[in-house]
Structure 1
Amino acid sequence: MSSGRWTKEQLKLAFHLYCQIPFGKLHYRTPEIAQLAELIERTPSAVAMKLVNFASLDPAITGSGRKGLGNASSADREVWDEFHADWEGLALECSRLREAIRPGQGTVSVSADSDIASGGMADFTGETRQVMTERRIKQDFFRRAVLSSYRGRCCMSNLSEPRLLVASHIVPWSKDRANRLNPSNGLCLSAIHDKAFDLGLLTLSDDLRIMVSDELKRRDEAFLNQVIIPLDGRLIEMPERFTPDLTFVRRHRSDVFVDSQRR
Structure 2
Amino acid sequence: MIEIIRVREGAFNPKGNWTREQTMLAFKLYCEMPFGQLDSRNKEIIALSKMIGRTPGAVAMKCLNIASLDPKITESGRVGLGNASSLDKKIWGEAHADWEAVIAECEELLAYIHKEKKLPEPETLPIEERDFTGDVRAALVKQRVGQSFFRRAVLSSYGERCCISGVSDRRFLVASHIVPWNEDATIRLHPGNGLCLSAIHDKAFDKHLFSLTDDHRVILSKHLKNSKDDFLRQVFWVAEDKKISPPDKFAPEPSFIARHREKMIQDAI
Query: Shorter-chain-normalised TM-score: which range?
Result: over 0.9
Pairing partner for 1:262 from 261, 265, 268: 268
Counterpart code for 1:7: T
Is it true that 1:109 corresponds to 2:124 in the alignment?
yes
> How many Å separate the matches in 1 of 2:27 and 2:104?
13
Q: Cα deviations across residues 166-192 of structure 1 (Å, max 9, x unaligned)?
A: 111101111122211111111011110
- 1:219 shift after superposition: 1.9
Structure 2 residue matching 1:49: 3-state secondary structure:
helix
Pairing partner for 2:42 from 14, 18, 30: 30
Q: What's the RMSD between the two structures over aligned residues?
A: 1.5
Structure 2 residue matching 1:96: 3-state secondary structure:
helix
> How many Å separate the matches in 2 of 1:133 and 1:90?
16
> How many Å separate the matches in 2 of 1:88 and 1:200?
25
Corresponding residue of 1:83: 95
Pairing partner for 2:70 from 58, 79, 88: 58
Structure 2 residue matching 1:19: 3-state secondary structure:
helix
Q: Cα deviations across residues 78-100 of structure 1 (Å, max 9, x unaligned)?
A: 11111111110111111110111
Is it true that 1:15 corresponds to 2:55 in the alignment?
no
CA contact (8 A) 2:221 2:268 kept: no
Pairing partner for 2:60 from 40, 48, 66: 48
- 1:106 shift after superposition: 6.4
Is it true that 1:5 corresponds to 2:17 in the alignment?
yes
Corresponding residue of 1:99: 111
Corresponding residue of 1:70: 82
> How many Å separate the matches in 1 of 2:212 and 2:84?
34
Q: Cα deviations across residues 108-166 of structure 1 (Å, max 9, x unaligned)?
A: 435xxx4x22xx33x11111111110011110111111111001011111101111111
CA contact (8 A) 2:225 2:237 kept: yes
Pairing partner for 1:198 from 206, 221, 224: 206
Is it true that 1:233 corresponds to 2:233 in the alignment?
no
CA contact (8 A) 1:165 1:191 kept: yes
Structure 2 residue matching 1:158: 3-state secondary structure:
coil
TM-score by length of 1: 0.92
Counterpart code for 1:198: D
Corresponding residue of 1:219: 227
> How many Å separate the matches in 2 of 1:213 and 1:81?
35
Corresponding residue of 2:4: none
Counterpart code for 1:178: T
> How many Å separate the matches in 2 of 1:28 and 1:87?
26
Structure 2 residue matching 1:244: 3-state secondary structure:
coil
For these two proteins, the number of residue pairs brought into alignment is 254
Q: Name structure 2 gaps, 5 residues minimum.
A: 1-12
Counterpart code for 2:59: V
> How many Å separate the matches in 1 of 2:268 and 2:87?
49
Structure 1 residue matching 2:32: 3-state secondary structure:
coil
TM-score by length of 2: 0.90
> How many Å separate the matches in 1 of 2:120 and 2:90?
25
CA contact (8 A) 1:108 1:133 kept: no
